Structure formats: C-alpha cells, structure tokens
C-alpha cells in the first residue's frame, strides 16, 4: 500500500475552503455575535446549529483536521529508514516558513497601504484585524514566527502555523517517546499525555494567548493521534475496506456528528470545553481519514480534478484568503453589495493562491529538496574520504 495518499491533500483543500467560508461569514454581525441556544432561532441558527454547520461553521474543526493529518504524514517521513533530523527540519522549514514569510509580508504591506481608510463597524471579529500599531517588536515577532504574539494583527489564521512549526521541531522526539511497538502501549502513553496536558491547561490555562506553548502541548496529542493512525494504517485501512456499505455509512454519520460536536452540544459548559471538543473532533477526523482511503466512492470523489486542485493550493488558500478579504473590504465596502464583495474575494483568493502555489510553494519545496540533497552528497563524500584515509 502506498505511503502517499492523494485523498489527504483533497481533505486539506476542503478544510481550507471551510475555514475560508467561516471567516467570510464572520463579516456579518449577526453571525459573529451569535449565542448558542438562542431562544429565537433565526437564519444564523441554521448555519451554526443545523447540518449546515459542517460547511459554514467548522473552521476550528478544520484546523484540528490539519493537525491530525500533519501527524499522520510526519510519522511516515520520520519512520523512514533514511530519516535524518536535519534533513527533516530543513524540508519542514522550507515547506511551512518560506511561504508563510512571503504571505505575512504581503499581509503587512496590504494592511499599511489600505487600512487607513475609515470603515463603519462591520463585526466584532473584523474589528480585531488590521487595527494594531505596526511596532518594530510586533513585526519582529511575526518574522520570528514561533513565539507568543498577537496573530490577529495582520492575518488571523497564522496562530495554527505557530503550533504546527513548534510541534514539527520536536515531533521526532515525541514519536520516540510515545509511539510504541504495540498499539495498547501507544494508546496508554497517549492517554497519559492527554491527561497531563489537560490538567496543565485546567490549572494554568486561564487567559492563555492563542499561541501559548501550553496549547502547543495540547495539540501535540492531536498530532500523535495522527501518528498512531499512520503506524497501523495498513491493518486499519484493509479492515475498513472490507466493511459493508451500511457500516461505512454509519461510521461516516458518526464522523460528521463528532465534527459538528460544538454545534450539537451548544451551551452545555462542561461538555463544550474546548479540550474535550478537540478530542471528539479528532476522533471524527480519524474516521474521515480512514474512510477517505478505504471507501472507493470517497477515494474517487477526493481524487476528482476539482478537489485535487483545491488540495494543491490548500496551504496558500489558508494563508491568503484573509488578505484578499480584508483588502477588498477596505477597498469596496459600501460601494458594492457585501455578498457580491465576498464572491469577488473568493475568486481573488483562489487566483492568488494558485499563483502562490506555482511561484512560492513549489519553488520553496524544490529548494528544500535541493539543500538536503546537497547535504547528503557532502556527507557521502566525507564518509568516502574518511574511509580512504583510514585505508
């Protein structure tokens, strides 16, 4: 069975599109300020607490999907016989950081050029962005990337990339410590780490920054869930592929319910705790990942041309959709209907992401491969030279 799954790229693409839709909906005050369990359901209710939530209100859940999928994919590269930590880290940096640094530079430039225009109040969410003073310390924090800082200043989505990069740096160690030969032991150690991080967050979690290192510890457990899934993928995917259609359909329904957990639970405080929610959503994500490969219909759908294209540009779409939205809002808000403005922003986001994928992402990945290939050649030459001297 292949170690490269095209279905996962498409899952990322769909998740990135869901994040985009959720952010675009946040432009509307009634949506941004909606309270769960409202006694007078309105149109927003159907976007938040009905099955429509899966498309319109699952941005946080989509980020959880990114984390679990990253754990799956990183495990495959780390578990390779040719694994080299420095090579892994260089490739990871070129994959995540270089496209990020270009995108955040464009966001800063757009903010400086456009945000001087006075806009009427749009929504509380929109009011958080492009309002901060462009201080040297804020700019340095953004370029250093993995510290704790105000990620709402220029591009709200980058908080998840801070955690992604931090965890990538230490993930080989986490694999060594927590992923064992037997599944029972892997689950035992994962459960222990989950309990520990939950306890830490309950004790010290009040008023945490969204880029807090303590939250990175929590998200480590979601990466490890993906890693365990990757370790036992052959057996799991083979078993799931033999399931009857009714069983696969049942599992899909369970996955959707888990993914929509926050909207279903609503105002039940204990059950709607974000830590518990993340684990429930992650369980649903694991089912999605399994079905995406083991179900022929799901695999065929995810390998369609449209979703494959969306998967290719998913990282750039995630990075640039808010830059597109904020820019067009400052340029055209009040001059054209908001809905039309959002449609134009969607089209511009896809075009911008396509360009970024071709001219930033792909060259960055090639550069990462080039530098690591050069390193391997140098290492081989040094080994041969050392043997020659000894001989």
Mean pLDDT score of the chain: 90
Q: What local confidence, expressed as pLDDT, does residue 3 receive?
A: 62
User: Which residue in 78, 90, 79 sits closest to 372, CA to CA?
Assistant: 90
pTM: 0.92
Q: What local confidence, expressed as pLDDT, does residue 381 receive?
A: 44
Report pLDDT digits (tens) over 217-239: 999 999 999 999 999 999 999 99
- Here the contacts of 52-56 (C-beta below 8 Å, separation 24 or greater) are 53/260, 53/263, 54/18, 54/256, 54/259, 54/260, 55/18, 55/21, 56/21, 56/22, 56/25
Range of weakest confidence among 44-53, 80-89, 346-355, 376-385 = 376-385
Pair of tokens at residue 354: 């396509």
Contact 130, 326 (CB under 8 A): yes
Q: Is 225 helix (H, G, I), strand (E, B) or coil?
A: helix
- 333 beta partners: 336
Contact 106, 323 (CB under 8 A): yes
With a cut of 90, say whether residue 111 has pLDDT above it. Answer: yes
User: Which residue in 292, 356, 346 sits closest to 321, CA to CA?
Assistant: 346
Q: What local confidence, expressed as pLDDT, does residue 272 receive?
A: 62
Report pLDDT digits (tens) over 137-186: 999 999 999 899 999 999 999 999 999 999 999 999 999 999 988 999 99
Structure letter (DSSP) for residue 40:
S
């Amino acid at each position: 069975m292949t170690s490269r799954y095209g279905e996962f790229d498409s899952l990322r693409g769909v998740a990135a599109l869901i994040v985009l839709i959720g952010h675009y909906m946040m432009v509307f005050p009634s949506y941004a300020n909606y309270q769960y369990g409202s006694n007078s359901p309105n149109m927003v209710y159907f976007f938040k607490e009905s099955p429509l939530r899966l498309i319109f209100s699952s941005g946080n859940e989509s980020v959880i999907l990114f984390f679990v999928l990253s754990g799956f994919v990183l495990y495959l590269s780390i578990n390779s016989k040719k694994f080299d930590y420095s090579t892994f880290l260089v490739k990871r940096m070129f994959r995540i950081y270089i496209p990020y640094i270009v995108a955040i530079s464009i966001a800063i430039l757009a903010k400086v050029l456009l945000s001087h225009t006075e806009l009427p109040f749009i929504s509380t969410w929109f009011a958080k962005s492009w309002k901060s003073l462009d201080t040297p310390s804020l700019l340095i924090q953004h370029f250093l990337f993995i510290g704790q800082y105000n990620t709402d200043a220029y591009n709200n989505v980058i908080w998840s990339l801070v955690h992604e990069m931090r965890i990538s740096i230490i993930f080989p160690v986490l694999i060594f410590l927590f992923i064992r030969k037997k599944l029972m032991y892997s689950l035992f150690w994962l459960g222990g780490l989950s309990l520990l991080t939950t306890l830490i967050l309950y004790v010290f979690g009040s008023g945490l920054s969204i880029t807090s290192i303590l939250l990175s510890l929590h998200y480590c457990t979601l990466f490890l869930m993906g890693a365990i899934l990757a370790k036992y993928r052959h057996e799991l995917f083979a078993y799931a592929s033999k399931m009857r259609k009714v069983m696969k359909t049942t599992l899909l329904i369970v996955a959707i319910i888990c993914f929509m957990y926050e909207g279903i639970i609503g105002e039940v405080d204990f059950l709607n705790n974000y830590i518990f929610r993340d684990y429930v959503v992650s369980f649903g994500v694991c089912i999605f990942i399994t079905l995406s490969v083991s179900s022929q219909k799901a695999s065929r759908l995810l390998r369609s041309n449209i979703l494959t294209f969306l998967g290719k540009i998913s990282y750039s779409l995630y990075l640039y959709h808010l830059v597109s939205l904020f820019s067009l809002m400052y340029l055209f808000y009040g001059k054209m209907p908001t809905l039309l403005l959002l449609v134009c922003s969607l089209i511009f986001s896809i075009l911008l992401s396509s360009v970024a994928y071709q001219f930033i992402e792909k060259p960055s990945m090639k550069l990462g491969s080039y530098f690591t290939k050069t390193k391997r050649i140098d290492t081989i030459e040094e080994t041969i030279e050392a043997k020659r001297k000894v001989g």
